[in-house]
């Protein structure tokens, strides 16, 4: 490659780097303007300053490099500065990846990737590819300029293949860092297979006997089922504050609803003027803020004791069919949200051999098979239009969380008084009036897994997951989880960074000292 071609490659490299640095610097400026809440977070690498400070430093360096590239400085000086800045950015990027193990978008492009809806993994690989391109290209070109200078000073013609190395290096850089990573989709936890078109409605009573000393309850229930879709309403609680305990499942999303009475009152929360400690004032009753509680999750398994036996009797077929023989999810699990994964336990399941093949017996055991966790069995059947349906069934709940294990806690006996076939579609999602406190559990499989996202809704609708993800409550909780996952780096990382940062100053000082010594000699 002759000198003219080599100079042309160098100029094009300078122009490409100048365009990239100008683009990324402007994106950082826009991020500082429109993303002020993000800029005030502590920097994950230099935790003692905010992300705004590191962004401003990066912007100044990038604009300084662009200004130097358009001036008439020697090419070797420009390449040396590019090597230094690219090395500095690369070390910071590696430290950032070490400090932030969670998939978090790199601040190199500001909010560019988030606004485009691109995954953080792809954006981070693009930024790494650009840094490798700048670093590798400047190193190869600087090595070529160095050889040209030596050849000129010694008067020897030294053929070089730096251009070919540069091209090879750039291809390798793009191959290493520029590829997009496609994350395979993950199925929903506990999503059942399609069931046959079994449809029916039922109503009856449920008697709950608590062996722990609580007063028995005599409840009423209504039930609708259509394939995978379910609607269950339970009412008549001893606690007059609770109107309805409801469960809805539309095939993908489960809604656990607890609707309170509008006349419900509770003691007000006051602060002791002497100690400043909060306490409840029973003499001053106020109306609570929430008219209902709503839990959203993707598992079709109910959690409330009054609803669970009804679901087992009529709606559990599609869900139970996905589990292997002898193992299934524990039905009544108080620690489900803490684990974010179901607890799999031994079980015994029996089905009716008559259509529609509903459950006749189910028992879940502890891992040692020494104690029973839950027990369900059908006591009587009724035939309607060729379908064998449970008319009377029982559910028993045993102690499985605290010793002594295996102690009987609750007995629920249900009697169906009426069956009929539905004329309208089963309710898929409830319409809830008033102010609703929502505990959303649909985000346990997000890149930053969240066990529960809590918020309020007043429009009576169940929000889609995409709307919740765009809410400031979700974003704030993601930032909290990211902060928990971050870790402080060891001292050697900062030693290497400072060594690279101070390298130009140390080199200039050494060259000045060497020149003074040569003059004195």
Q: 180: left (phi > 0), else alpha (psi -120 to 50), else beta?
A: beta
Q: Are 332 and 312 in contact (CB under 8 A)?
A: no
Residue 83: CB atoms within 10 Å = 20
Q: Are 125 and 103 in contact (CB under 8 A)?
A: no
H, E, C per residue of 107-123: HHHCCHHHHHCCCHHHH
Q: Rounded to an integer, what distance in angstroms lies between the CA atom of residue 256 and that of residue 248?
A: 7
| Phi, psi of 404, deg, nearest 5 | -80, 130
pLDDT of residue 423: 72
Of 261, 249, 430, 409, residue with least CA distance to 334: 409
Q: Are 250 and 428 in contact (CB under 8 A)?
A: yes
pLDDT of residue 359: 92
Sign, CA dihedral 217-218-221-227, equals positive
pLDDT of residue 500: 84
Q: Rounded to an integer, what distance in angstroms lies between the CA atom of residue 472 and that of residue 246?
A: 29
Residue 406: CB atoms within 10 Å = 14
pLDDT of residue 106: 67
Q: Rounded to an integer, what distance in angstroms lies between the CA atom of residue 311 and that of residue 320?
A: 11
| Phi, psi of 165, deg, nearest 5 | -65, -40
pLDDT of residue 171: 32
Of 195, 298, 213, 201, residue with least CA distance to 255: 298
Q: Are 76 and 10 in contact (CB under 8 A)?
A: no
Strands 436-440 and 292-297: parallel
Count the helices and strands in the chain (H runs, E runs): 13, 16
Question: 17-26, pLDDT tens digit by residue?
Answer: 999 989 888 8
Q: Rounded to an integer, what distance in angstroms lies between the CA atom of residue 63 and that of residue 84?
A: 15
pLDDT of residue 109: 66
Residue 373, helix vs strand vs coil: strand
Q: Rounded to an integer, what distance in angstroms lies between the CA atom of residue 197 and that of residue 178?
A: 49
Q: Are 308 and 219 in contact (CB under 8 A)?
A: no
Q: What one-character DSSP code corresponds to residue 42?
A: B
Q: Rounded to an integer, what distance in angstroms lies between the CA atom of residue 166 and that of residue 143?
A: 10
| Phi, psi of 213, deg, nearest 5 | 105, -10
Q: Rounded to an integer, what distance in angstroms lies between the CA atom of residue 337 and that of residue 147?
A: 64
Of 132, 107, 131, 91, residue with least CA distance to 492: 91
H or E, element range at 394: strand 387-398
- Per-run averaged pLDDT (10 residues), the chain, 521 residues: 69 89 86 65 76 86 89 85 89 82 64 63 81 88 78 49 40 32 32 54 94 90 88 89 89 88 77 76 76 89 89 89 80 68 84 91 84 92 91 92 82 94 65 85 82 87 87 84 71 84 82 77 63
Q: Rounded to an integer, what distance in angstroms lies between the CA atom of residue 341 and that of residue 329?
A: 10
- pTM of the predicted model as reported, rounded to 2 decimal places: 0.59
Cis peptide before 464 (omega within 30 of 0): no
SS3 content of the chain, % helix, strand, coil (to 5): 40, 25, 35
Q: Rounded to an integer, what distance in angstroms lies between the CA atom of residue 451 and that of residue 473?
A: 14
Cα 273–Cα 279–Cα 282 angle in degrees, nearest 5: 110
Cα 340–Cα 344–Cα 348 angle in degrees, nearest 5: 150
pLDDT of residue 159: 39
Residue 429, helix vs strand vs coil: coil
pLDDT of residue 512: 78
Residue 140: CB atoms within 10 Å = 21
Residue 459: CB atoms within 10 Å = 10
Q: How long, in residues, is the chain?
A: 521
Of 382, 221, 372, 391, residue with least CA distance to 308: 221
Q: Rounded to an integer, what distance in angstroms lies between the CA atom of residue 59 and that of residue 66?
A: 11
Q: Are 378 and 390 in contact (CB under 8 A)?
A: yes
Q: Rounded to an integer, what distance in angstroms lies between the CA atom of residue 319 and that of residue 313?
A: 12
pLDDT of residue 488: 73
**In angstroms, what is the C-alpha Rg of the chain?**
34
């Amino acid at each position: 490659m002759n000198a003219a071609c080599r100079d042309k490659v160098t100029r094009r490299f300078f122009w490409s780097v100048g365009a990239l640095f100008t683009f990324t610097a402007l994106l950082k400026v826009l991020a500082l303007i429109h993303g002020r809440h993000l800029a005030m977070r502590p920097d994950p690498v230099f935790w003692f300053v905010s992300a705004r400070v590191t962004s401003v430093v990066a912007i100044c360096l990038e604009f300084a490099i662009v200004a130097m590239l358009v001036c008439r400085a020697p090419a070797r000086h420009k390449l040396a500065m590019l090597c230094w800045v690219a090395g500095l950015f690369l070390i910071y990027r590696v430290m950032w990846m070490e400090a932030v193990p969670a998939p978090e978008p790199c601040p190199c492009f500001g909010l560019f990737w988030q606004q485009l809806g691109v995954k953080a993994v792809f954006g981070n690989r693009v930024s790494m590819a650009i840094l490798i391109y700048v670093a590798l290209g400047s190193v190869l070109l600087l090595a070529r300029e160095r050889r040209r200078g030596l050849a000129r000073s010694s008067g020897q013609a030294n053929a070089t293949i730096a251009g070919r190395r540069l091209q090879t290096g750039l291809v390798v850089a793009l191959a290493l860092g520029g590829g997009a990573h496609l994350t395979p989709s993950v199925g929903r936890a506990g999503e059942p297979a399609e069931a046959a078109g079994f449809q029916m409605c039922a109503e009856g009573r449920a008697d709950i006997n608590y062996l722990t000393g609580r007063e028995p309850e005599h409840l009423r229930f209504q039930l609708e089922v259509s394939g995978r879709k379910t609607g269950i309403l339970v009412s008549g609680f001893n606690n007059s504050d609770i109107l309805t305990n409801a469960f809805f499942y539309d095939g993908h999303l489960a809604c656990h609803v607890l609707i309170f009475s509008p006349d419900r009152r509770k003691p007000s929360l006051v602060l002791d003027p002497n100690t400043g400690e909060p306490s409840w004032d029973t003499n001053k009753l106020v109306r609570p803020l929430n008219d209902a509680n709503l839990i959203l999750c993707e598992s079709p398994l109910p959690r409330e004791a009054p609803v669970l036996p009804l679901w087992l009797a009529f709606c559990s077929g599609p869900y139970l069919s996905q589990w292997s023989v002898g193992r299934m999810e524990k039905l009544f699990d108080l620690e489900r949200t803490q684990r974010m994964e179901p607890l799999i336990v031994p079980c015994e399941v029996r089905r009716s051999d008559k259509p529609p093949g509903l459950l006749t017996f189910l028992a879940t055991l502890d891992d040692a098979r020494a104690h029973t966790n839950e027990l369900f069995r059908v006591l009587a059947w009724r035939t309607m239009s060729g379908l064998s349906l449970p008319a009377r069934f029982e559910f028993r709940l045993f102690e499985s969380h605290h010793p002594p294990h295996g102690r009987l806690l609750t007995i629920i006996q249900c009697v169906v008084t009426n069956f009929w076939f539905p004329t309208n579609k089963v309710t898929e999602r409830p319409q809830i009036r008033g102010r609703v406190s929502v505990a959303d559990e649909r985000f346990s499989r997000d890149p930053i897994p969240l066990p529960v996202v809590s918020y309020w809704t007043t429009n009576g609708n169940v929000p889609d997951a995409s709307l919740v993800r765009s809410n400031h409550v979700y974003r704030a909780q993601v930032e909290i989880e990211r902060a928990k996952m971050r870790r402080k780096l060891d001292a050697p990382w900062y030693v290497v960074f400072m060594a690279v940062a101070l390298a130009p100053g140390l080199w200039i000082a050494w060259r000045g000292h060497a020149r003074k010594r040569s003059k004195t000699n």
